[in-house]
Structure 1
């Protein structure tokens, strides 16, 4: 493999971590009370939430955590592709379900990258396995002299390397970053640049979130609290789930 120019990695991270924070703030600004109220109201009732502000905070946490995980996952996947481009002339793949392709030690690797270990449901796992099988066939048709190894690469976690029953190699955490760089310390080397201007970005996000919490709490009180100020859970559940039309589809009694 080629030696990795870590200054170029730092520049890539600095530029793209800014984009992650901008997209995170934009996702916050797009949230509306209507979107938040699509979350499971029964769960919050079961938690004995009694104040509008507490409910809004819980709804925001639930919405933002999934959005943030996806956005940061996109960043990590982009970083992995960038590093592979530098170390082994890797390239972002145009094939469905494949994120990265590179050649090392006379083996053509086709890699699907996931940010963390808890990704996808069973149908998505089956789709991934099929995409990797299709990728192997495509490469073998065009480059018969090389071995082809399908890989599921996961950016963090401690699961040990193993072959799946579907034939792909599952490589996690330190092992994944080592696979694309031959550097056993890369997984910790990237920690410092990822923190670039983190406090500044986080302070801006907290300020924006506080303003949104106040705005949405006011809207919620007006729409879903009774004159005493208590949450009207019946009205809230109706706003979330009232849609009775089944009688139109049932046989006549």
Structure 2
């Protein structure tokens, strides 16, 4: 008897119509989910694009710029211009840190803090540097400096009531820096003296000088010379000077030597 040969297709059972319908439903459900996901992404992108576009409109630009803090030597207009806010840029593109750094580059500005106030405001809070000394510049010009050696301004004549500062090195006198620049490190000790003078006699000081050997001296409006030496033990040296000025019998040619703390000497 000849064996019957079956085709592989004979082994496949027909698919139940309910299973086929279930598979079709699953595929349709997946398709709907993919479509909803794509639509969600498109809607989200449209919303983000719309919000970004809205934030770059005049509604959210720096229309109201307020400058606070005492700044008698720097106009508000100069501060706003330095901040880059004169043309009312969008608040979203205004970096408070970078804006503050631009303001602090102005000669007189010591610190600047920038805050955004939505939807259209920016506040710039500033403090100014305090003039401490003046230095003779090229020709007949004079430069005003703060207590850390930063040049604040240049004027054609010497200012009254501000001590003269001079720094000598072997062979030359250090000139003041350009406006906004600072003196070299060799001036730091003398500047420490200039900015820490006590109320007891600060108004009497007409000059602070750093010699080529780095020793520091002061000239008073009475003609008295004070030798401080180095910028160490300054509180003790200041106490010695104040006591001698208050109780000593001094002349316009007198020299007060406090280079050795608590062992002052007077000559002349």
Name the TM tier (shorter chain).
Answer: under 0.3
Which one has a larger percent helix, Structure 1 or Structure 2?
1
Give the structure-2-normalised TM-score. Answer: 0.22
Q: Which has the larger radius of gyration?
A: 2
Give the structure-1-normalised TM-score. Answer: 0.23
Which one has a larger percent strand, Structure 1 or Structure 2?
2
